[in-house]
Amino acid sequence: MLSIIHKFVICCRCTNTLAFIRLALQSRQNKEQRAQFSASAVYWVLCPNLERGIDYLRDAHLHKGLAFTLQERQVLGLQGLLSGGVKTQEEQVAICKYSFDRFDSPLNKYLYLSELLEMNERLFFSLVATDVEKFLPILYTPTVGLACQRFGLVYRKPRGLFVNIFDKGHVYAVMKNWPIHDVRAICVTDGERILGLGDLGAYGMGIPIGKLSLYTALAGIKPHQCLPIVLDVGTDNEELLVDPLYIGIRHKRVRGEEYHEFVEEFMQACVKRYGRTTLIQFEDFALPNAGTLLNRYRERFCTFNDDIQGTAGVVVAGVFGAARITKKKVSENKFLFLGAGSAGVGIADLLVDAMVEEGLDKKAAQDKIYLFDIDGLLTSKRQSGLPAHAKHFGKDLEPTKDFAKAVETLKPTCLIGASTQGGAFTPAILKQMAKNTERPIIFALSNPTDKAECTAQAAYDNTEGRCVYSSGSPFPPVKYNNKTYYTGQGNNSYVFPGIALGVIAAEVTKIPDSLFLTAARSVADMCTAEDIDVGRVYPPLSNIRKISFEIAKKIVERAYKLNIASVYPTPTDLDAFIQHHIYKTKYLQYVPELYTYPPSEYKTKSIEQISEEHKKKFSQ
């Protein structure tokens, strides 16, 4: 009671009191208005955060721009702080689209979206929801890479936590500075391997920010529950160390025991601050740290590494999709990988799990997978030895560095490129694949586009149009024999947002690889007969919200079966259970409406009807 009185006193002191009293007097006129006024009065007194006036315009969670109604403007003390026009959220979205399209350079588009997010969160996510495929390459790769490289210029306002190595011993205290208590998902990087751009140190912050904005845009996870973090342990990038714009600590990268103690302290601090079911996604750590940290934490924390497991999940989803086209089980294939790094070995490991689920024993499944790296085929006899993370794929064969020869002698039915070597799948290699099998599966996953092992067109041209093709970067539709094919893009976005949503909803305690298989199957199941007919191994990305929702449901189901969920009782209505966790982009109504401005006699044109002249006028 005392606290209510206290709040009331504070409310009464605020500048809106007169407007509020005026509304109270006006609302005496009829019963309905009295009821509405009482509702707003109760809200006003009990409102937990006591934001007033300008705070509603400064806080991106509360901001509605010109969509604040007259009532809200009066009661909240906004009258005069906004121009007189009132716009609906839909009108605002149309204006934002128009503004976004006016920028030519992707980086300027990125900056526009960042500013919008910092100003008005609901408007930002409503805009992105109108055309996810259009906004994805700006919010994430490739544009986010540019933003990271120029992060010294992009950085304006804190949108995540920087925990640096000098904070060692005090990491929990630093984490407590983050003002939000209800964090459910953390995305963390140490900036050592940012996309294909190498060590960007603290500039890597663009990655967790981007990934978490996709959590909301693609799966509807509530934005305030997401926390981007950079573990700044220094950088070995000499250019950045002397760059006046650099925002991180100017120190060589700390490695070894001190690094691992620091990461351990960070993991413990996350759990202490936000609970043991807080999802911690590792992103863009370099090998071998990526693999070591995953193995160290996967059983003890609710964590996954998107570069290893997320990639594996999406590529295996593509293999499941391809299996629907070739009508062969996964285990009826022989796989040859070019590239045995974190992506390649992660995919190979999950393929083994998929084949085991189909009934093969683990050794037999491993025997169906051959890996080739910069030192040649992974065999126990090669001089350079086997990389530790891929030892289990070493074969008892003569070493070779001739990849084309390996394609000829091993006769794989599926070729997977994760080597960063653009054009490595030469026409001769592709032609050999067409000889190896009726429907060769060709996945050229390396990014960006010019690093792809072969283009979609080359794959179709050299396999008589019989291949099933997918890539890491998007390719335009392929024309072959008067038919148009839409090849798949193995974009991690198909998988990680849906997994995260399921994991958060069921408060999962750890994330076994089998959850990635579950997600992969559910993505492949969402391909329609039409998708399969035009060569798509993934459903269109424009359906991503639905795909993520379906994945989340399957993840929750599986989590209860595996006994790793911690929300009880077990939900019976999965749709409602997941829906409860979904962020609503529609503006909140802060104050019930008592009356509105009289309607204007002017009817505006739609934003699409704005004349060319008008566009020209605003083009500078």
CA–CA separation, 11 and 3 (whole Å): 12
The HSE-up count of residue 251 (CA atoms within 13 Å, CB side) is 12
Kindly state whether residue 459 participates in binding ligand NAI, applying the rule CB under 6 A.
no
Contact, 368 vs 334, CB < 8 A? yes
Residue 289 CB, shortest distance to ligand NAI, in Å, is 11
Residue 79 CB, shortest distance to ligand NAI, in Å, is 50
Contact, 320 vs 295, CB < 8 A? no
- What mask, x for binding ligand NAI by CB under 6 A, covers residues 524 to 543? --------------------
Which one of 27-35, 36-44, 439-447, 545-553 is the stretch in contact with ligand NAI (CB under 6 A)? 439-447
CA–CA separation, 453 and 338 (whole Å): 9
Closest listed residue to residue 372, CA positions, set 333, 350, 399: 399
Closest listed residue to residue 243, CA positions, set 165, 149, 160, 156: 149
Residue 349 CB, shortest distance to ligand NAI, in Å, is 13
> Which residue of 225, 305, 420, 436 would you call a contact of ligand NAI, by CB under 6 A?
420
Neighbour count for residue 318 (Cβ, 10 Å): 29
Tokens for 342?
Answer: 């974190």
CA distances from 620 to 61, 105, 112, 568, 615 (A): 31, 13, 15, 57, 10
Kindly state whether residue 343 participates in binding ligand NAI, applying the rule CB under 6 A.
yes
Cβ distance to ligand NAI smaller for residue 350 or 556 = 350
Catalytic residues: 140, 211
Contact, 55 vs 19, CB < 8 A? no
> Which residue of 374, 534, 588, 610 would you call a contact of ligand NAI, by CB under 6 A?
374
Q: Give the residue nearest to ligand NAI (CB).
A: 341
| 335-338 β-sheet, strand order | 376-377, 369-373, 335-338, 414-417, 441-444, 468-471, 488-489
| 303-305 β-sheet, strand order | 161-164, 226-232, 185-189, 279-282, 303-305
Beta-strand pair 483-485/478-480? antiparallel
The HSE-up count of residue 101 (CA atoms within 13 Å, CB side) is 13
Hunting for tokens 């007259």 — which residue is that? 70
Cβ distance to ligand NAI smaller for residue 451 or 536 = 451
Residue 557 CB, shortest distance to ligand NAI, in Å, is 25
> Which residue of 342, 413, 455, 509 would you call a contact of ligand NAI, by CB under 6 A?
342
Cβ distance to ligand NAI smaller for residue 223 or 344 = 344
Three-state DSSP string of 267-293: HHHHHHHHCCCCEEEECCCCCCHHHHH
191 exposure class (CB count in 10 Å sphere: 0-12, 13-18, 19+):
buried
- What mask, x for binding ligand NAI by CB under 6 A, covers residues 273 to 312? --------------x-------------------x---x-
Kindly state whether residue 36 participates in binding ligand NAI, applying the rule CB under 6 A.
no
Orientation of helix 206-219 relative to helix 121-130, angle to 10° = 70
Helix (H, G, I), strand (E, B) or coil at 557: helix
Q: How many chain residues touch ligand NAI (CB under 6 A)?
A: 26
Residue 19 CB, shortest distance to ligand NAI, in Å, is 54
Kindly state whether residue 190 participates in binding ligand NAI, applying the rule CB under 6 A.
no
Cβ distance to ligand NAI smaller for residue 390 or 582 = 390
Contact, 223 vs 129, CB < 8 A? no
CA–CA separation, 192 and 231 (whole Å): 10
Cβ distance to ligand NAI smaller for residue 419 or 436 = 419
Cβ distance to ligand NAI smaller for residue 430 or 564 = 430
CA–CA separation, 340 and 372 (whole Å): 6
Cβ distance to ligand NAI smaller for residue 71 or 470 = 470
> Which residue of 209, 233, 378, 418 would you call a contact of ligand NAI, by CB under 6 A?
418
Cβ distance to ligand NAI smaller for residue 338 or 365 = 338
- What mask, x for binding ligand NAI by CB under 6 A, covers residues 481 to 500? ---------x-x--------
Residue 390 CB, shortest distance to ligand NAI, in Å, is 8
Cβ distance to ligand NAI smaller for residue 253 or 451 = 451
> Which residue of 341, 502, 535, 571 would you call a contact of ligand NAI, by CB under 6 A?
341
Residue 548 CB, shortest distance to ligand NAI, in Å, is 16
> Which residue of 77, 191, 339, 535 would you call a contact of ligand NAI, by CB under 6 A?
339
Kindly state whether residue 338 participates in binding ligand NAI, applying the rule CB under 6 A.
yes
Residue 189, beta-bridge partner list: 230
Kindly state whether residue 472 participates in binding ligand NAI, applying the rule CB under 6 A.
yes
Residue 18 CB, shortest distance to ligand NAI, in Å, is 59
> Which residue of 373, 507, 513, 531 would you call a contact of ligand NAI, by CB under 6 A?
373
> Which residue of 446, 462, 463, 548 would you call a contact of ligand NAI, by CB under 6 A?
446
Cβ distance to ligand NAI smaller for residue 323 or 418 = 418
Interacting residues with ligand NAI (CB under 6 A): 196, 287, 307, 311, 314, 338-344, 372-374, 418-421, 445-447, 451, 472, 490, 492
